[in-house]
Structure 1
């Protein structure tokens, strides 16, 4: 077994006010996650004012998701090379500028360009932020609590998008969903240099440019292909071409990484079974969550007749349950262990989704939706916290950015995958029932039920995957980076204690 090396002391002393620093980092992460969903409610008004049809409006979402998902791994590695604080500040500054540009947009082209810049900036910001969190909290107990807050914020950002999008669009116009990022982002940029020390000096390294180019191209092609499934169908030449490009570039990336002296993504990192399991679980949780929020929002407005603001307000119980779950999960992990808590959270999530799938076309919120929403919030809160923790388990400071890029990439790819698969199933189910003479409301409801059941299936598969994690949790008080904290990172896959 290879010897382990403790991280530099500087990593454990990045801040004397680390909990305040965590809150600022989490605020930036909240904006990144929020921006993937807050725009949805504003799309109809935005399209009317800028003269964008349905296809063009889909690109408002895709223009953000493509560079975000495609550049995350590169962003994580750049942070490891040039400094996590530095790349975090660069990404946040770019995100602020892009948000202001989007709010000022007078044409569709200007808006789409701004959205692409937002996504690219988020790809620098997100992995660097998670890497800084892992450095701020090297002790197992504190890290569990910190990642509980982090995972909760990520889940809340997704749930809050619909609510805030409806409120801001109704009160201030569609521009407000972009402008809201500017003052919050400025607070982050001003606070972080005062809360975190400068990045420690690191040995110069050579960036793996061929690996960076191929993996970025592959991820962009994957996200593009999944987005194309929703817009033009599975067998359309665009979808098939992007899928083929993703496959070719993915194979090329693996071949390059196996031969590179300093690879962008050392393939040996996947020998860490917890990291591999955590990322796969995060992919499945992302798939379930994005499909859930999409279907739930449309179901409430198209079937139940809620307006955008009411649909947003109905997300409050789910968001509240998620916040509470994220707060108590660290204590549960300390009692039950990481793996059992993750599996239990995913089973609760699946149970809530299955319950929600039984909602009728004339559902009453308090009777049919409130209960499932609370269960779903509890399950999502627990799953986000524990899957994130599992994904960074055993990672030292030199690869913290890579780990952050991997887990964020898993969530983004999972979201695109889940929405593409389940939206296609729902459309097919609704179309078949409508052709059979079933009423439009009942046909739509049945289609959305399939989305909820499919999301539950993703959660249950995630629970099965979580069972393959190596261990329950690090011993209380064990610093990450000691031999106990890094054992899984250097043990061959399949090894046992």
Structure 2
């Protein structure tokens, strides 16, 4: 009669899809979420003129429809990554999807600037919870090796498509429907993502706990009680469990937000304006205090010093920073070039970036098969050199008169192939050096680096492009045959020459990337 002990195992380990099917669903979920998060950084750009007319936005407030999202997103990425580690991937992802979707609805229904900007900031906060958690889910789902490399390649490729598709989708939705649909389009996708996460993501959290608690030493523990929501030390002592470092979180968020605010304002007011260098100085001070707090005072640091001392982490982040300086300003610079030099419409300029988007996606997908064969370090170096060549050719062709295909299309495809081949191996190296329980944090650090490098790159390369255009216009008066378009083209060429140098420097730094153990 007591021979029926099979009920507890059934309760603790409920039926679930076969492993390959579940892994595929989780990868699809991660890709859908990262596509939405990256798409929303750029999708509103083309809709800004319609949005300004409809809501009566002040011209000075218009850039903040984009900047509010970027600022909140970059400022909270570290916290978002750590929340996934501390409170569970499922809970963090569901909270992020809910916030992102509700904020999208609020943006689509906004009737004034205040509500719209608040909605954009809330979208960015939701994205900060989602972006590092999706990468953490992939690392928890796929063990290090060829399958993880392919999954990371797909994730990176989808993210690259999201970055390039934003301007195209924004133009199509605004032209065919209404600017509000650049926000409302997120609602059905958010519902699908939330439903999928609710169904399949709990198992990833449980598997992550088993990994942290030593599943490799044996068979694991079956299922842990559903009431436990943290991944950390066992036992009933709450003080022993990991907690969020609140002072550190406040310092790093305030520091990043202030510094990024100053960088964003530099494109409007110039580097000498107090509203530029003041926030940059204040933000830098807060970040220095954050570093000291993590090293000396924090009981449970937000970024444990042991993590940043692991060689793959600082080297991969330095590589990503230099690559971000070169790449993340390129869509803006090329869009300006196509509109002001080739006289394209905004929608046509967005479509002009499509070949580059396809190159990014295809190279990202192929990279997943190259990494197991040649190693992440070799693939990253090769991709970065190819990106430097593409940027260098752009610097040579943009200053002349030629067709789109020769001046932008072909060089753009070359740097797209190089950049797409670099993101995945650099990401793989950054997360290979940390234990699974800190995968979200490592992802948050890397994504913060990407956002900061993008903001710095946009500010610096925009400034260089403007200075180059002014210099060319001053030395080539209009009476001598030069035009404003000629000056702009030479300014853009200077910016891409610097981008080529940054990509080449990234390739040099990447030589210090260690090979993951699975490659040795």
User: What TM-score comes out, normalization by structure 1 length?
Assistant: 0.90
The 1:53–1:220 alpha-carbon spacing in structure 2 relative to 1, beyond 3 Å, is same
Q: Is the 8 A contact 1:291 1:451 kept in 2?
A: no
Write the deviation string for residues 175-198 of structure 1: whole angstroms up to 9, x where unpaired.
121111111111101111222225
Q: Is the 8 A contact 2:77 2:129 kept in 1?
A: yes
Q: How does 1:362-373 map to 2 (within 5 A)?
A: 362-373=401-412
Write the deviation string for residues 297-338 of structure 1: whole angstroms up to 9, x where unpaired.
111111101112211222221111222111111222222211
2:212 maps to which residue? none
Q: Structure 1 residue aligned with 2:446, among 382, 407, 426?
A: 407
Q: How does 1:299-448 map to 2 (within 5 A)?
A: 299-357=337-395, 358-360=397-399, 362-436=401-475, 437=477, 438-448=482-492
Q: Is the 8 A contact 2:398 2:490 kept in 1?
A: no
Q: How does 1:473-492 map to 2 (within 5 A)?
A: 473-475=516-518
User: What TM-score comes out, normalization by structure 2 length?
Assistant: 0.86
Deviation at 1:342, TM superposition (A): 0.2
Q: Is the 8 A contact 2:145 2:372 kept in 1?
A: no
The 1:456–1:53 alpha-carbon spacing in structure 2 relative to 1, beyond 3 Å, is farther
Q: Are positions 1:181 and 2:186 aligned together? A: yes
Deviation at 1:363, TM superposition (A): 3.0
> Match of 2:402, SS?
coil
- How far apart in 1 are the matches of 2:201 and 2:82? 20
- How far apart in 2 are the matches of 1:420 and 1:176? 29
2:505 maps to which residue? 461
1:225 maps to which residue? 262
Write the deviation string for residues 452-495 of structure 1: whole angstroms up to 9, x where unpaired.
22222221111111111122x4326xxxxxxx9xxxxxxxxxxx
Runs ≥4 residues deviating over 4 A: 13-16
1:90 maps to which residue? 95
> Match of 2:336, SS?
helix
Q: Is the 8 A contact 1:15 1:136 kept in 2?
A: no
Q: Structure 2 residue aligned with 1:168, among 149, 173, 177?
A: 173
Write the deviation string for residues 184-236 of structure 1: whole angstroms up to 9, x where unpaired.
11110111122222533434323211111111111111211211211211111
Q: How does 1:252-291 map to 2 (within 5 A)?
A: 252-258=289-295, 259-291=297-329
Name structure 2 gaps, 5 residues minimum.
Answer: 1-17, 207-227, 233-240
Q: Are positions 1:100 and 2:105 aligned together? A: yes
> Match of 1:256, SS?
helix
Q: How does 1:149-164 map to 2 (within 5 A)?
A: 149-164=154-169
Q: Is the 8 A contact 2:379 2:421 kept in 1?
A: yes
Deviation at 1:339, TM superposition (A): 0.7
- Count of paired positions: 465
Deviation at 1:361, TM superposition (A): 5.7
- How far apart in 1 are the matches of 2:73 and 2:38? 11
Write the deviation string for residues 267-326 of structure 1: whole angstroms up to 9, x where unpaired.
121122112111122222222222100000111111101112211222221111222111
Larger Rg: 2
- How far apart in 2 are the matches of 1:359 and 1:255? 45
> Match of 1:41, SS?
coil
Deviation at 1:353, TM superposition (A): 1.4
